[in-house]
Chain A
């Protein structure tokens, strides 16, 4: 167990290191326009040279990489090229927004997905099952940017026209402005993310529940005279949730770096939107910082999922 953990952590560090190398190499290959953009249209070659020098862009790539790595070990990810703000500061401002989005959506999609999956599995081939399956497949096939725009059209625009101005068209209201405002700003982004993802969980829970409901110990539980509700929720669901929980861990890890689309549609200045803006401006320190953080989330989530798997299903041995 301990050996497993150490191995996985080392492996995770290796992955993160490879990612820094790849991103650095990637941006070194392309000629940088940062100094030219910063210097403005009438810049002399000398100004451009000075800016490059100030940002350390005139150093050899290996020196630049070494500086980055040695600082990163001390928690310093450098400064952004354009405003000289620490990257960690930029990320600290964006992270609460992304977390609000990811966690809120996760609560909705898990509740929706697991509930629908269980209802489908208890009454297979019933009208409820079939409509849940159609519902799941419909949203599973739905591109999130289209769903986001549709929600904006109906729940923001049409409702506002009808005199119910409940939801804003986008943007973020921090919790300091009051829970109500924060909540209303997040509802549409949450729904966008959750409806698309809930579909996977409905399908997963349904097939997992169907497998478990066919097992002998469920028959034993029933023959002991336990009521159906207890059999379903205490006995079957607990063991059917194992694959669902592992998928949840993986998705949540991926989500920290994967909410680009939803944040773009709803103009939420979270990590995804910040990354996109940095990418279009070739703001390398910010890009590396966010990519690294997002990868770390995936790596940590994967390790946690493995541990959780062994905890939920004692037959699994970690080695």
Chain B
């Protein structure tokens, strides 16, 4: 008893002595640390600002119609095309010029942002959700589950993605849902592979053993104890996957397998501009630049997120 009380008193004394310094070196949440590192990264912050701006343009696309007075699909055949029927260059009425049907390119880019960002985010989330569940299951249960799922991952990764995606979309009919499903279906395998690798080592840690000895169910261990520890990797991968998905969606549209006209979408706009690049540079340039800025911003931001979570990697 007496020994115990001495010990207690001893630790109290130590705590009182160290109190001011201890407060100063208080353990910080790793998420908070990552966020602080990210906030100091100027390039990443500027990229984030650009992404937010594009998202705002997408959400408030009708404002562009309000200011210009041009709905996205209205064809201005008199003011919007030359007497020869060619697109009109940037001017006071059409700030970024018009396309081959006399439609306002600026307004169509703003509406197109909805498709690019929407598909980019939704298809990425779908991909990551499937990949995380499959990777968790494969790494956690091992044995036959792992063997079957790992073979499935191998099969998906051996498929010439783009060709089969095109065939699928062509057969099932183009459209937004189809695009999202096709991208999600073919992209989850690499996420699953990353998650599986991480889970294999995490499941051997002491705290997982502790949870199991306390009677936690497999499902609880998977989602409460293991998942949060792979989340950082998953978030990094997600931010870097969004631009890839955006380009894939645009590429499908470019080949005529995305959204059908007259819906404004960047890949489709670039496809329509193909025959006009010699007479109307703005027709191909502006939708292309919009696409490039978006993917560049996501890639720069993704790099920043990776460095924030793992300062040793990347731009060391």
Contact = CB atoms under 8 A, between A and B. Distances in A.
B254 interface: yes
A162 interface: no
A260 interface: yes
A19 B159 CA distance: 8
Nearest to B293: A141
B159 A280 contact: no
A149 B272 CA distance: 12
Nearest to A160: B278
Contacts, number: 124
A258 B160 contact: yes
A297 B158 CA distance: 9
B292 A142 contact: yes
B273 to A, nearest CB: 7
Given A137-B300, A141-B292, A290-B163, A157 B158 contact: no
A94 interface: no
Contacts of B162: 257-258, 260
Contacts of A210: 316
B254 A145 contact: yes
A124 B316 contact: yes
Nearest to B294: A141
A279 B316 contact: no
A264 B255 contact: yes
B281 interface: yes
Contact of A280 (B157, B170, B281, B288): B170
13 contacts: A11-B151, A19-B164, A133-B315, A137-B299, A137-B300, A145-B271, A150-B284, A261-B255, A275-B166, A279-B166, A295-B159, A295-B160, A298-B160
Interface of B: 151, 154-155, 157-164, 166-168, 170-172, 243, 247, 250-251, 254-256, 267, 270-271, 273-274, 277-278, 281, 284, 288, 291-292, 295-296, 298-300, 303, 313-316
Interface of A: 11-12, 14-15, 18-19, 22-23, 26-27, 29-30, 124, 133, 137-138, 140-146, 149-150, 152-153, 157, 207, 210, 254, 256-258, 260-261, 264-265, 272, 275-276, 279-280, 287, 290-291, 294-295, 297-299, 302
Q: Please provide the 6 A-B residue pairs with the shortest distance between their CB atoms, ordered closest to farther.
A: A257-B160, A146-B288, A294-B160, A141-B295, A141-B296, A257-B163
